[in-house]
Amino acid sequence: MATIKLDNVTKRFRGERELCNIYGINLEIRDGEFFCLIGPSNSGKSTTLRAIAGLVSLDEGRVYIDGVDVTDLHPSKRHLAMLFETLALYPNRTGYENIASPLRTRKVPPEEIERTVLEVARLLGLEHLLNRLPETFSGGERQRVAIARALVQRPRVYLLDEPLGALDARLRLSMRGELKRLQRDLGQTMVFATHDQEQAMALGDRIGVIGAGVIQQIDAPQDIYLKPKNKFVAKIIGKPQMNFFECEITDEGNKRLLVNPAFRIDMTSFKPDFSGRAKNNSVILGIRPTDIDISDQKESQDWVPAQVHISEPLGNKQILDFRTGDKMIRTVVRPDVSYELDETKWLNFRKERLHLFDRETGVSIF
């Protein structure tokens, strides 16, 4: 049981820099929460986890666990378990000894070690691996043994740094299910760093998006997806990626338009009123591939003409790429529609699903 709080945490690496700097990180992680930290590589995820674990010294800010300031506490005294992407199991020790190793270091009595290891092995279905060496384990089994080794320590918090990164797609899918169920059963706080938006969306009770060492947004998965606070968040969450177009907000007579060389969209009746919220009225329009309608004819002035570039079937849906001028527009549609290459179609960006970002700052203007 544990809450975590990072209060204005800054870490600048000097000289040889292995990790990304972080600046003014404020984070409150609730008790029993599955918290996902997502960002591209070198965005500060690992540094943040290490700041919680106490593996890096901070330049500024404090770290609290259960309300107690642990900033100056040695990592071993924080009662956290950290799991890295590279699952360093001891190759010459059996599954049992690998799981038992943190307890042996702590000089736990042998009977207790045995009881704990067997209990955790049963929980994770690892009994058959206890007498075998890691070289005989599959990817998923290695993963589970590494998790078991973290579990026996009975930590207050689990910190996981891309723990599913090395697994193939199918295994990743099933392991993430197991991980979430395990976390729920244990009821313990987990902080999970990943660059994979699908993993973050699937696992997180809440997601923290981090970029360039700064927290960009913290929210529940569906809220982040529907209301990204800036273009960085909009781009990293959702697959295929959101489409972006540079536009000007222009008033003509009593009409308010979004204008781009390829289209003019009437936003007169759009709420809220966003005029004057972007510098020079220069914005970036964002629209997700799933929020675009396709038609054979121009159904209103807002519809955008575009040529079919390529279609990619994916079974239960298809990705359909269109060209308009030199821009590509990616859409996701039903699997059973089929068009000729280079055929002209009309596209409609659903207005209630539009995003507008200030072109200079990238910040959402409504």
Partner 1 sequence: MSKVKLKLEHLTKVFGDLIAVNDLCVDIFDNEFVCILGPSGCGKTTTLNMFAGLERPTSGNIILDDKVINKLPPQKRDIGLIFQDYALFENMNVYENLAFSMRVKRRPRREVDSKVREVAQAVEVSHILKKKYGSLNPGEMQRVAIGRTMISGPSVFLLDEPLDNLDADMRVTMRAELKRLQKDLGKTMIYVTHDQEEAMSLADRIMVMESGLLQQMDSPQEIYNHPVNKFVAGFIGTPPMNFITCKLESVNGKLMLNSLKGAFSMDVSEVVRRLDEGKLQNEIIVGIRPENVSVNIDGSQSEKGKAIVLRVEPLGPELVIEVALEGESDNVIRVLTEPGRIPGTGAEIEIIFRQDKIHLIDPMREKVLI
Residue in 28, 100, 104 with CA at minimum distance from that of residue 67: 28
Beta strand pairing status for 189-194 and 206-211? unpaired
Query: Binder to partner 1 among 315, 326, 340, 352 (CB under 8 A)?
Result: 315
Q: Is 196 in the site for partner 1 (CB under 8 A)?
A: yes
Nearer to partner 1 by C-beta: 240 or 362? 240
Q: Is residue 167 a contact partner of residue 140, using CB atoms and an 8 Å limit? A: yes
Q: Does 182 bind partner 1 (CB under 8 A)?
A: no
CA distances from 195 to 58, 167, 211, 237 (A): 24, 14, 11, 10
Judged by beta carbon, residue 110 or residue 313, the one nearer partner 1 is 313
**Residue of the chain from 312, 325, 350, 361 that contacts partner 1 (CB under 8 A):** 312
Choice from 64, 225, 244, 270 touching partner 1 (CB under 8 A): 225
Nearer to partner 1, 114 or 178 (CB): 178
- Specify the pairing of strand 34-38 against strand 189-194: parallel
When the beta carbons of 106 and 184 are compared against partner 1, the nearer one is: 184
Q: What single letter denotes the amino acid at residue 326? A: D
Give least dist CB 254 to partner 1, A.
35
**Nearest alpha carbon to residue 306 among 328, 285, 290:** 328
Neighbours of 147 (CB within 10 A): 24
- Is residue 140 helix, strand or coil? helix
139-168 positions binding partner 1, by CB under 8 A: 168
Can residue 352 be called a binding residue for partner 1 (CB under 8 A)? no
Which positions from 262 through 291 interact with partner 1, judged by CB under 8 A? Answer: 288, 290
According to the binding rule CB under 8 A, does residue 206 interact with partner 1? no
State yes or no: residue 177 binds partner 1 (CB under 8 A). Answer: yes
Question: Minimum distance between the CB of residue 42 and partner 1, rounded to whole angstroms?
Answer: 12
Residues 6+ apart with CB under 8 A from 216: 209, 210, 229, 230, 232, 233
Q: Which of 180, 229, 264, 277 binds partner 1 (CB under 8 A)?
A: 180
- Beta strand spans in the chain (E): 4-11, 22-29, 34-38, 60-65, 68-69, 80-83, 157-161, 189-194, 206-211, 214-219, 243-252, 255-260, 263-266, 282-287, 292-295, 304-313, 318-324, 327-333, 344-349, 355-358
Closer residue to partner 1, CB minimum distance, 91 or 314: 314
**Residue whose entry in the numeric block shows the structure tokens 């000089």:** 107
CB of 62 to partner 1, least distance (A): 33
Binding to partner 1 (CB under 8 A): which residues in 226-245?
A: 237-241
Would you tell me which residues interact with partner 1 (CB under 8 A)? Answer: 168-170, 173, 177, 180-181, 184, 195-196, 198, 201-203, 221-222, 225, 237-241, 288, 290, 309-310, 312-316, 319, 321, 330, 332, 335, 341
